[in-house]
């Protein structure tokens, strides 16, 4: 069995949309069972470590009905969207069984084996905070869910709804929500402080873990005890509330049976380190994303001064299904240095299907088809060169450093537009310098943290464009390595010792 690497590259695929697109291309029905070999082989050429099949679980019939009332809102992304294109939210899970439309459980198992044969891990979703508003628990085990009363339904109709249990009795159920926004209308909020719910959640997780190699846990911080109390105080029985954290009850139980299983947390509110302490192997680095999109290079550098042990558990990304397409949010030029930086930093790299080809339409997760869009061949070529470089062992086993930058000459301030970091292993070095602005920029990079380059001559080869430079090690230590980058340019310089 393939082991997870230290610094994995994870590729997110919207499963329903992916299979729809493949079916259109091959003019036959494609499910998880019969994805063509050439498609899986192409994923291998990207240099990936894992594929995240987003949205494989059974969709809620009521969610589909609700979502179809808003088909007009999906047309900015899919202008010719019809009722049939609306398939419901993958985050309103009706049942943790693979949706029959996608091929079912056996089809997923067959695809997982084919991915394994190609050295790829499989990641799936877990939505801990809520289930679909028509999940079987509503009838069979409403105690697993947060319940209200008639006054709650009247005063907070966006947060509660009326349903019936198995015996036909009316129950008022809360919609899933976080503390700062109204409830999600197609969901039912779980009661994280119900001991019975925790047992059921653990059984569900054990079953899911038998079908994949890792889980991306949606809004994972919402199940932290203090966050749950803040959100639902007064709606649970404090006398039976567990003293342990939800994730402390879940993660060790899964690891006992699946030791190499990975938990990936979608995490916000500066809770990344806390969630790592609760057992998550990787947590989203939303702060880096925000600073790349709308912050300054200086803010990016400040973010990167954190301890290596913390950073190596972060998931770096410039796009995912929750965010606008990077080609739109960053633009066709800035996307390159942003990707070069995010991919080469410590931690996992998350790529989103369509990101490398320059897709612009951000698809609502409720629809199952995407528009046809042109491919940006230059962006794809850049991305593939970058991913090929990422297979170098130095990124898995090397030591990482963030470098200080200095003005190239007095009264020059363009050095502030750059970010520089690097990896070192033996006589192998990589220096990454990116210009996140539209301004021609110069700087001196202080490489004093690499004393091993002293007294030697080096050829510096840019793996992104093939340019080469000969430099003396002593000069690169003092005064430093002079770099000049055009607008939105990136350097990944490989050091090769010369005779």
Nearest to 357 by CA among 338, 334, 337, 384: 384
Question: Do residues 275 and 283 lie in contact, with contact meaning Cβ atoms separated by under 8 Å?
Answer: yes
Residue 147 maps to a domain: no
CATH number at residue 209: 3.20.20.80
147 by DSSP, 3-state: which?
strand
- Burial (0-12, 13-18, 19+ Cβ within 10 Å), 23: middle
- List own/partner pairs for 231-237 with CB under 8 A and 24 or more apart: 231/177, 231/178, 231/179, 232/146, 232/174, 232/189, 232/191, 235/146, 235/147, 235/148, 235/174, 235/191, 236/146, 236/191, 236/193, 236/194, 237/193
Give the residue from 337, 368, 395 where a domain finishes: 395
Give the residue from 343, 369, 395 where a domain finishes: 395
Has residue 393 got a pLDDT over 80? yes
- Using pLDDT thresholds of 50, 70 and 90, give the confidence band for residue 37: very high
- CA 60/CA 186 separation, integer angstroms: 8
Dihedral-angle region of residue 187 (phi above 0 means left; psi in -120 to 50 means alpha; beta otherwise): beta
Nearest to 321 by CA among 277, 357, 367, 278: 367
CATH number at residue 432: 2.60.40.1180
Say if residue 115 is in the same domain as residue 262: yes
- Torsion (CA) 154, 159, 164, 169 in degrees, nearest 10: -50
Mean pLDDT of 469-478: 96
CB atoms under 10 Å from CB of 275, counted, come to 23
CB atoms under 10 Å from CB of 146, counted, come to 28
Say if residue 384 is in the same domain as residue 437: no
Q: pLDDT tens digit string along 185-232? A: 999 999 999 999 999 999 999 999 999 999 999 999 999 999 999 999
Q: What is the DSSP string of 458-479?
A: EEEEETTT--EEEEEHHHIIII
Residue 159 maps to a domain: no
Has residue 476 got a pLDDT over 80? yes
First to last CA, the chain: 42
Give the residue from 370, 395, 420 where a domain finishes: 395
Phi, psi of 10 (to 5 degrees): -115, 135
Say if residue 344 is in the same domain as residue 465: no
Distance of CA 458 to the CA centre of its chain: 37
Give the dihedral sign, CA 252/128/108/51.
Answer: negative
Has residue 62 got a pLDDT over 70? yes
Residue 151 maps to a domain: no
Nearest to 109 by CA among 28, 37, 31: 31
Say if residue 71 is in the same domain as residue 115: yes
Residue 250 maps to a domain: yes
CB atoms under 10 Å from CB of 28, counted, come to 9
| pTM of the model as a whole | 0.97
Q: pLDDT tens digit string along 128-183? A: 999 999 999 999 999 999 999 999 999 999 999 999 999 999 999 999 999 999 99
Q: What is the DSSP string of 167-208?
A: TS-EEEEEPP--TTSPPPTTEEEB-TT-HHHHHHHHHHHHHH
Say if residue 352 is in the same domain as residue 460: no
Say if residue 405 is in the same domain as residue 490: yes
Say if residue 43 is in the same domain as residue 126: yes
Say if residue 55 is in the same domain as residue 203: yes
How does 306-320 read in b/e, with b if 16+ C-beta sit within 10 Å?
A: beeeebebbbbbbbb
Question: Do residues 211 and 105 lie in contact, with contact meaning Cβ atoms separated by under 8 Å?
Answer: yes
- Domains identified in the chain, total number: 2
Has residue 324 got a pLDDT over 70? yes
- CA 140/CA 239 separation, integer angstroms: 23
Say if residue 285 is in the same domain as residue 354: yes
List, in sequence order, every beta strand (DSSP E) within 353-498: 399-402, 405-406, 418-425, 428-435, 441-445, 457-462, 468-472, 481-485, 490-498
Average pLDDT of the chain, as a whole number: 97
Say if residue 328 is in the same domain as residue 416: no
Residue 143 maps to a domain: no
pLDDT attached to residue 112: 98
Nearest to 321 by CA among 348, 290, 359: 359
Question: Do residues 138 and 126 lie in contact, with contact meaning Cβ atoms separated by under 8 Å?
Answer: no
342 by DSSP, 3-state: which?
helix
Residue 66 maps to a domain: yes
Residue 241 maps to a domain: yes
- Burial (0-12, 13-18, 19+ Cβ within 10 Å), 168: exposed
Residue 162 maps to a domain: no
Mean pLDDT of 401-415: 96
Has residue 327 got a pLDDT over 90? yes
Say if residue 288 is in the same domain as residue 265: yes
pLDDT attached to residue 89: 96
- CA 403/CA 14 separation, integer angstroms: 37
374: its two tokens: 């042109």
Enumerate the H helices of 352-439 as residue ranges: 377-389, 394-397
pLDDT attached to residue 1: 59
- Using pLDDT thresholds of 50, 70 and 90, give the confidence band for residue 3: confident
Say if residue 415 is in the same domain as residue 390: no
Has residue 2 got a pLDDT over 90? no
Q: Which domain holds residue 475?
A: 399-498
């Amino acid at each position: 069995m393939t082991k997870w690497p230290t610094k994995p590259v994870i590729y997110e695929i919207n499963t329903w949309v992916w299979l729809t697109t493949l079916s259109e291309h091959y003019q036959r029905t494609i499910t998880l069972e019969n994805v063509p070999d050439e498609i899986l082989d192409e994923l291998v050429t990207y240099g990936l470590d894992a594929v995240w099949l987003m949205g494989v679980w059974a969709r809620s019939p009521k969610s589909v009905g609700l979502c179809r009332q808003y088909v007009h809102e999906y047309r900015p992304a899919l202008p010719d969207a019809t009722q049939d294109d609306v398939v419901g939210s993958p985050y309103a899970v009706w049942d943790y069984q693979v949706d029959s439309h996608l091929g079912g459980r056996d089809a997923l198992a067959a695809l997982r084996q084919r991915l394994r044969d190609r050295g790829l891990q499989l990641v799936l979703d877990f939505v801990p905070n809520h289930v679909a508003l028509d999940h079987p628990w509503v009838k069979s085990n409403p105690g697993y869910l947060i319940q209200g009363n008639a006054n709650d339904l009247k005063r907070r109709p966006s947060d509660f709804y009326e349903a019936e249990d198995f015996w036909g009795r009316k129950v008022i159920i809360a919609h899933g929500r976080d503390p700062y926004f109204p409830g999600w209308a197609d969901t039912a909020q779980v009661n994280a402080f119900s001991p019975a719910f925790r047992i059921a959640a653990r059984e569900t997780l054990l079953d899911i873990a038998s079908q994949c190699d890792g889980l991306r846990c949606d809004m994972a911080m919402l199940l932290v005890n203090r966050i749950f109390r803040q959100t639902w105080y007064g709606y649970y029985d404090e006398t039976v509330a567990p003293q342990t954290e939800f994730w402390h009850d879940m993660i060790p139980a899964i690891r006992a049976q699946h030791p190499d299983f990975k938990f990936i947390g979608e995490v916000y509110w500066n809770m990344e380190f806390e969630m790592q302490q609760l057992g998550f192997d990787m947590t989203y680095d939303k702060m880096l994303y925000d600073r790349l999109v709308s912050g300054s290079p200086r803010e990016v550098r400040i973010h990167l001064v954190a301890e290596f042990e913390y950073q190596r558990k972060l998931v770096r990304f410039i796009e995912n299904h929750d965010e606008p397409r990077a080609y739109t949010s960053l633009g066709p030029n800035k996307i390159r240095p942003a990707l070069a930086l995010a991919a080469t930093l410590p931690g996992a790299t998350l790529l989103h299907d369509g990101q490398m080809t320059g897709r612009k339409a951000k698809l609502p997760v409720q629809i199952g088809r995407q528009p046809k869009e042109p491919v940006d061949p230059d962006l794809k070529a850049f991305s593939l060169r970058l991913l090929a470089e990422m297979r170098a062992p130095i990124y898995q086993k090397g030591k990482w450093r963030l470098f200080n930058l200095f003005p190239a000459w007095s009264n020059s301030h363009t050095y502030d537009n750059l970010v520089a970091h690097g990896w070192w292993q033996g006589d192998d070095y990589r220096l990454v310098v990116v210009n996140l602005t539209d301004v021609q920029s110069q700087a001196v990079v202080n490489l004093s943290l690499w004393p091993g380059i002293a007294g030697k001559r080096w050829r510096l080869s840019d793996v992104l464009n093939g340019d080469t430079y000969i430099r003396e090690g002593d000069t690169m230590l003092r005064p430093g390595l002079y770099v000049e980058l055009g607008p939105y340019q990136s350097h990944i310089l490989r050091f090769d010792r010369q005779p």
